[in-house]
Amino acid sequence: MENALQQKARALVAQMTLEEKASLCSGKNFWESKAVERLGVSSFMLTDGPHGLRKQAGEADHLGLNQSVPATCFPPAAASSCCFDPELMERMGQAMGDECRAEKVGVILGPALNIKRSPLCGRNFEYFSEDPLLSGEIAAGLVRGIQSRNVGACLKHYLANNQERARVSSSSVIDERALREIYLAGFETAVKKAQPWTMMCSYNMINGVYASDNKRLMTDVPRGEWGFTGAIMTDWGAMNDRVEAIRAGLDLEMPGPCDGNDALIVQAVREGRLDEEHVDLCAARVTELALRVAQNTAASYDKAAHHELARQVARESAVLLRKGSALPLKKGAKLAVIGDFAKNPRYQGAGSSKINPTQLTSLCDALDGRKIEYTYAQGFAAEGKPDEALVDEAVRAARGADVAVVMLGLPDSFESEGFDRAHMDLPENQTLLMSALIQTGTPLAVVLSTGAAVLLPWREQVDSILLMYLGGQNSGSAVLDLLLGDASPCGHLAETWPLALEDTPCQGFYGNKGNVEYRESVYVGYRYYDKAGKEVAYPFGHGLSYTSFAYSDLKLSAAEINENDSLTVSVTVTNTGDMSGKEVVQLYIAPPCDGIFRPVRELRAFAKVELDPGESRDVSLTLDRRAFAYYDTQGGDWRVDSGVYTVQLGSSSRDIRLSQPVTVHGAAANTEINSKVPAYCDPAACWPVPKAQFEVLLGHPVPAERSLRPFSANSTLSEVQASFAGRLFYRAIRKNVSKQFGSGAGMEEFTKIIDAMLEDMPIRQLAMLSGGALTPGVMAGLVDMMNGHYIRGLKKMKG
């Protein structure tokens, strides 16, 4: 049933001309929508997120190149997801919404729900988890908070945009079970529990169809199955075919101006190739969004309070990976603080999410603020080469201390939007530093600042490891709170940390151009490691504390249920230590061992509980039908097979404390496919999956790769250099980019991003980002010339 705003929007669209309706389907400029002033439909502003506001006051870009207004930089998703606390995320969202209102921003572009398929993804710091349930629940909390302030949230990047390399031109080849159970599920949870105002389509193709053109993913699934009522926009420059995208239900093309594409919409309607009703639907959804935003009034916010909230989120999200005797620090202990990040913190990622913080507190700032004595040694330069003098200074500081806190991590040059990592190692200068510090014999408490999992070959040789991921603008205060024991670490890993890159389930099928085969199917993260019995450095859900917790008295509301019944699970959790703390209770469901191939266990619910020393509390969690279901590709729906399932409660996927069986009555088990795909039944025996078995899941052969010639609007800048005209065009583009952004000192981070993105950028995207300079006619002419048709190309370029 339509609400009042939807009815008003539809009535306004009925009064618009075709040209006005088409105009609403693209942006006015880089960050604003268009208006229809004669009918009172106002323009509204969109800005980057997803962990704070990145509103550009001057020149616009989507790479974090140009300055933005000051805003609170909350911990990015890699960190905040580890809090396992949707209510805390809702508070963070409320703060972000307040800042949007203060800056007159109508929609903030976040949160980002892409699954962490590989630790190499350069943008993993923006993403929540390898698990879709955790991603969806955390995202839903953030969306509820943002939209409680009448500011729109935007779920992105929809869908299967799990690598940065060739993100604009690659095709994610995924079987239907994996698509439903892993890659769609988080978005589904966030939509159903928070009803975001908007979603953003990704750049890539999914099974050969660009996201923007994909009616099934833009309309049938979110609107038809989930009940999504909002608008869907492109990522900046993600439009492929504007007319086809209107049919698909893609409402808003960004950035603008896109007058050429608006004209294509009008032309298609007038020629009978596009039903005007499709345009009406898209225009109505954009109009409704404009009406929502127009209800906002001016607001202000408390910068100091938001700085403190950023500290709390960082503190609650920090994960104690290893616990020794050094932490919490003992009163009066001689302290050495080592590492460039102690004074110059790595607190956020690089690219479009880079925020200009209202304030920045490093660990050294926090120590100085509390007048705590320490000896500081830089140890390494974040973006530098090994330096023997810096190492020697650090060794002297460590030898003169009772405990050395060592701040390590990845610099911006190692992980960013626009490119993926080539390996999981820390920089060489940090590795050499650690080798020297370990030889001192001084207890080392390592604090890690990184956007994704890294390899820690020395992890068993240090006293403690505290993982902050990227902790936001007040991470220094949060680190000190935890070092001193003012609070106990209570974060838990939202992703598995493997022992080696070669152990990751998608290794060999990640970071490709063209077809990117998701051969691991549903076995992403712990679903693979646990099924294959693969040893890991730290399992999904892992997180230690300064106190300890015991689980007891597991109860199920029934020992036997029908598939449509709910099941309530309760357990008593007791703080058995001598310090207050919080525990994350994780509920996994293990399926019958004789059914269709499935992971060993899957997270189905969780709860965070705070307990004083000696205190006990009952935790109750409710499971519905989906907790026991898998996606049945033959039936095209979720299916629950009859059998004995196991309810498992624990502190990680590898630390199951209590379990109890429950009999579920559903459909008769269908295991016919198992014999055709033995690798998926026993990953330990056969991995990676042979192509033939993957194609059984796909239901068809892996599509052939797109041929290089003839060149088209979807040919990339690296591809067209095979032609003379393409090489000239590429040189002109590089010259223009260098002129626009420069290439001097301090630009290394952005140069690396731009270089990587240009190589894989299709010509059509360059046209969309040109601000109207590269018109459809000019683009078509260029393509003709690259294919050797110079005269025809020149004619098209001249109009």
368 CB neighbour count, 10 Å cutoff: 13
**Distance separating alpha carbons of residues 117 and 518, to the nearest angstrom:** 9
**Is the distance from CB of 590 to CB of 649 less than 8 angstroms?**
no
Angle at alpha carbon of residue 526, lines to 199 and 635, rounded to 5°: 60
DSSP structural state of residue 299: -
Helices (H), 450-542: 475-484, 526-532
Residues 302-323 as b or e (16 or more Cβ within 10 Å = b): eeeebbebbbbbbbbbbbbbbe
DSSP bridge partners of 637: 632
**Distance separating alpha carbons of residues 51 and 249, to the nearest angstrom:** 28
205: helix, strand or coil: strand
**Distance separating alpha carbons of residues 703 and 173, to the nearest angstrom:** 8
The two structure tokens encoding residue 19: 């040209």
Helices 4-14 & 276-294, crossing angle to 10 degrees? 130
Any catalytic annotation for residue 235? yes
**747 phi, psi to nearest 5 deg:** -105, 5
**Distance separating alpha carbons of residues 279 and 65, to the nearest angstrom:** 35
- In order of 445, 454, 483, the CA distances from 580 in angstroms are 21, 30, 15
- In order of 329, 379, 387, 684, the CA distances from 400 in angstroms are 16, 15, 21, 48
Single-letter amino acid, residue 549: F
DSSP bridge partners of 204: none
| Sheet architecture: strand order including 616-623 | 549-556, 567-575, 616-623
**Is the distance from CB of 497 to CB of 538 less than 8 angstroms?**
yes
**Distance separating alpha carbons of residues 413 and 667, to the nearest angstrom:** 52
**291 phi, psi to nearest 5 deg:** -65, -40
Q: Quote the radius of gyration of the chain (alpha carbons, Å).
A: 27
**Distance separating alpha carbons of residues 722 and 167, to the nearest angstrom:** 21
Closest by CA position to 77, among listed 144, 123, 145: 123
Preceding amide of 111 cis, omega within 30: yes
**Distance separating alpha carbons of residues 419 and 748, to the nearest angstrom:** 14
Catalytic residue, candidates 235, 340, 420, 760: 235
Catalytically active residues, by annotation: 235
